[in-house]
Structure 1
Amino acid sequence: MKIDKKIIKELTEYLNEFGLTEIEYTDKDTKIKVSKWVVPNSSETVSVAASTSEPTKKLPKAVSGTEVKSPIIGTAYHAPEPGAKKFIEVGKKIKKGETIMIVEAMKTMNHIPSTVDGIIKEICVEDGQPVEFGQTIIIVE
């Protein structure tokens, strides 16, 4: 069996482009799975306080409000096109069903609607940042 390195390279590029940790490709009787090990960033590491020798873990931020999560993986955009007015801003009132962001997946621009009414408390992803399925993209009060 000859392994097509071109497919593996393309899958690896998708991992990096979309911020994925694993991707799988199946064609007839060929199955290729590419994955990478993600090293936790410094905010998830265990730190030692200067006054004691006991390790302390950083606790996750307490979320007050409703988290709106990404329904797909892709790249998040805050505006319909570069330089255009953003869909949402912190402090702005939104209604259920209103577009809050666009997530591009495989060259398709997917308008992501709000799942609740409320006021934008926090925008959790930067413009142009990759997002995962289920990742919190905004918090609404």
Structure 2
Amino acid sequence: MTKQNDADVAFIQALAELLNSNDLTEVEVKREYGENDRLNVRVSKAQEIVHAAPAAYAAPVAAAPVAAAQAAPADAAPADPRQDPNCVPSPMVGTAYLSAEPGAAAFVKIGDSVEEGQTVLIIEAMKTMNHIPSPKSGTIKRILVDDGTPVEFGAPLMIIE
């Protein structure tokens, strides 16, 4: 390694330590050394996004799990929306938006009928607005994300039956 490369490695290690010691998830630095000599560094760590479950999906109280299971009808929706065969999962990591712009009407709301391919929400990823189409025709039964909510790949977005 050259002296410059050793300094760059030390700099990147210092950024990683800064990331951990300050509970950051990402640090990006761009350095210009000369006309054609630059260093662009992005250090990030995986961030676990915990989605707050709507009250209908809250885990049963530990004191009465058997009673809760017996009281549930056989055709009840699964406790985890990911297990529901009608779940629309997020195809990417990003920020979910329920309307085309702030203050505009939502693409869909609970009870709306949708056609296959109709836009049901937008996920912004890397400054690009990605229209998410309905995978099938049906009725919106549940919307599992709030407007402006960060979502992970595979996160449940809505239930369409």
Common fold by TM > 0.5: yes
After TM superposition, give the deviation of residue 107 of structure 1 in Å.
1.1
**TM-score, normalised via structure 2 length:** 0.58
Distance 1:48 1:91 in 2: 33
Q: Does the 8 Å CA contact 1:101/1:111 hold for their aligned counterparts? A: yes
Q: How does 1:9-20 map to 2 (within 5 A)?
A: 12-13=25-26
Match of 1:49? Answer: 63
Q: Does the 8 Å CA contact 1:65/1:140 hold for their aligned counterparts? A: no
Instruction: Encode CA deviations 1:27-50: one digit per residue, 9 max, x unaligned.
Output: 9xx995624567897956x95428
Distance 1:99 1:124 in 2: 16
After TM superposition, give the deviation of residue 129 of structure 1 in Å.
0.6
| Selected match of 1:80 from 100, 117, 120 | 100
State the percentage of identical aligned residues.
41
Distance 1:109 1:81 in 2: 11
2:108 aligned partner, one-letter code: I
Richer in strand (by share): 1
**TM-score, normalised via structure 1 length:** 0.66
Distance 1:37 1:124 in 2: 18
* Structure 2 residues without counterparts, runs of 5 or longer: 1-9, 28-38, 70-77
Match of 1:136? Answer: 156
Q: Does the 8 Å CA contact 1:77/1:101 hold for their aligned counterparts? A: yes
Richer in helix (by share): 2
The structure with the larger Rg is 2
Match of 2:15? Answer: 5
Between the two proteins, the alignment pairs up a number of residues equal to 121
Which structure has more relative contact order (CA 8 Å, sep 6+)? It is: 1
After TM superposition, the runs of 4+ consecutive aligned structure 1 residues lying more than 3 A away are 6-9, 30-33, 35-44, 62-65
